[in-house]
Structure 1
C-alpha cells in the first residue's frame, strides 16, 4: 500500500500544501519554468493541443469562478487536483469546471476529467482530475506466458454494458468475471472483491467503460497482461483517443461476442501479445514523469486563461 492510499495521510498532506506561504509556490513556479525550458517543446505542444483543442479566443460565462473563490464542494480529490495548480495564477483568474463522471459538453470551454470521443468535444478541456484513483501503475513480476489463460474482470453494476458482459461469460470457465454490488442485479452474478495483485495472475484484463472510461485501463496497461476491450468511446488525460487496436490493446466488438476468439488467438501467439504489451508500456511511460505531468497541467491552465482574454493571470513573474 502506498502512503497516499491512506485517506488521512493523503488529505493532510495535500491540504497542508495549500496552506503554504506564497514563497513556497513561487519557488516551485521557478523550478517548473526552468524545467520547461529543457523539455521537448514539440512534444509539450502536441499534448497541450490535445487537451485544449481550441486555438482562438473565447468568452467566459458570467458565472465563471475566480481562483480566490474556488471552494471545495463535492469531490475532494478533484478539488485538490485543480487547486494544486491554481496557486501559480492570479486570485482573479476566472475559469469554469465540472467535477464528476458526466460527459456532457458545455456551450463554453470547461475543465473536465473526461469527454466523449467525437469531433464536437473542443469545449471540454481535459485536466488531470481524480488522479489518485485513475493514475495508478503496477509492478508486474510475471511474464505474459506465466499467467493463466483466462480473462478477468471485477466491477460495479451501474452500467448496462457491464451487466451484459458478466451475464454473457458468467458460466464460461475461461472467464473469471463478476459484479461487486447488488444494485441492478437482484443478487445475480455477484463475486467478491479481487485485488489487483490477484487480477495480474491472468493473461487478459477486461476493461469495460462505466459512466466514462474504464478505471482499470491505466494500471492494466502498465502490467504484463493484455487489455481486452471494445473501442473506447470517451477519453481522459490518459489520451485514450490515441490508443490503437491490436497495437496498445486487443479490441473486441461492442457486444463482446468475439472476446473468447480474440483471447484464444493471442494465447497461441504470445510474441504478438508481448508486442502489444510493450506498446502499452510505452504509452504509459509518458505519464510517469511527475515534472512533465505537472508542467502540462500548468500549461493547460495557462493556455485557457490566455484564450479567454484575461491579462495578468500569472501570480509570479517568469524567470
Structure 2
C-alpha cells in the first residue's frame, strides 16, 4: 500500500537496528496474544466483536474467552409489602433472558475456529464490574463492539477493564467486515504519557506483524521538545528494536487532536488506531462528547485503547 505524502515536513522512517545501530531485517515475531477475551451482553452488535476476536485469536493460534455479562437492571424499590416479590420477578426475568442469549451464543460459537470457553455472570453492574476486572487481569486483551461500549452498562464494564484491570481493549465498529483479519496498516496516536506507552505495549503483537506503522503526534502549542518529539523518536527506536518498521510524523495543529488522527488514519488507509485512555472523565468525553461521538459513530476501523 502506498503512503501519501506526509502532512508535515518532519517525517522519519525508523528501520530495525542491531545493538550497534546498524539496520537489519525485522526480528522474528516474539509478541503473541494467547488469551483473548470478548465481551458480549446480548446486544445485536455482539456478533461483530465475536467475529473480530475469532479472526485475531485464530491468527495468533490463541484461546478465546467469551464473557457474557448479563446485567440485571434492578431499580431502587420502595420498602414495603411486595417489594421483595417485585425484585424477585425482575431478577428471574433477567436470568430467563440471559438463558436465551446464552443459547444463541452457543449456537453461534460452534462456527468459531479457535478453542473457546463461554463464561457467564448474572448480576447488578457493581458485581459485573468486579467479575470482568478479574477476568481482564488474566487475559492479554479484551475485544468489544463499539456500540456495546456506548450503553450505560457497557461504559461501566469498559472502564473496569481499562482502569481496574489495566488491560487493553479493542473497540470494533459495527460496520467492520467479518473477514477483516489482522491489521496491515496501523496508526499510533503519540503523546508522551504512560497511557500511550501502555497502549503501544498492548498493541505490540499487531505492530510487529503490520506492513506499515505510523507513529503520529498532533502539534500543540510550544516547542518540539514540549510536544514530545524527542520522546517519540525514542519510542520509534524502541519499536524498531522489536522488529517494527515505523514511520514518525508530526501532524499540523487541529482544534481537536482526535480529528487530526482520524484524518491521518483515513489518508494512510489504517486498519487499526492505537491510542491511550487518559482517565475516567476523558473516556466518558471520548464516547459522549460532540465531535468524538460522531467520529465513533462513523468509524470504520478498530481502536485499541489502554490506560
TM-score, length-scaled by structure 2: 0.28
